[in-house]
Amino acid sequence: MKTRADFLRAQRGFRRSTPGLTLEACLTPDHVRLEGAFRVGFTASRKVGGAVERNRAKRRLRAAAYAILPLSAREGHDYVLIARTATISRPFAELSRDLNTALAAIHAAFGKEGPTGAEDAPP
């Protein structure tokens, strides 16, 4: 995911926070959906720290996502991983566990409340 509109759409979807990260998710809009694929984006605000800290936090989020999302993500979904101040110092095993926990909670929420975020996408 690269465009601001994609990140804003995910923001209107489901959100789960854990000590190491925040995960937002929504359905991928039909006009960009690919068979068997999911999309992922990463972000870190200035609250995390300076540029060096933000880049390190995003690298750690990418590493966790590349280890976990191919096994656990659902096709046709967009995921945004948001760094928190603890993302930098949290042990990688705990950061990975945080991502698994957030994914499970979001997938459960999709099952209960139904999908959101893709209905108002531009054609």
Rounded (5°) CA angle 29-60-102: 55
Mean pLDDT for 106-122 is 62
Q: Which residues contact 91 (CB under 8 A, 6 or more apart)?
A: none
C-alpha span between 76 and 30 (Å, rounded): 9
Return the percentage of the chain with pLDDT > 70, whole number.
Answer: 91
Quickly state the pLDDT bin for 118 (edges 50, 70, 90): very low
What pLDDT is attached to residue 47? 95
What pLDDT is attached to residue 21? 96
Cα pseudo-dihedral 86, 91, 95, 100, rounded to 10: -150
Which pair of structure tokens corresponds to residue 83? 């760094």
40-98 pLDDT per residue, tens: 999 999 999 999 999 999 999 999 999 999 998 888 899 999 999 999 999 999 999 99
- Assigned CATH class of 4-109: alpha beta
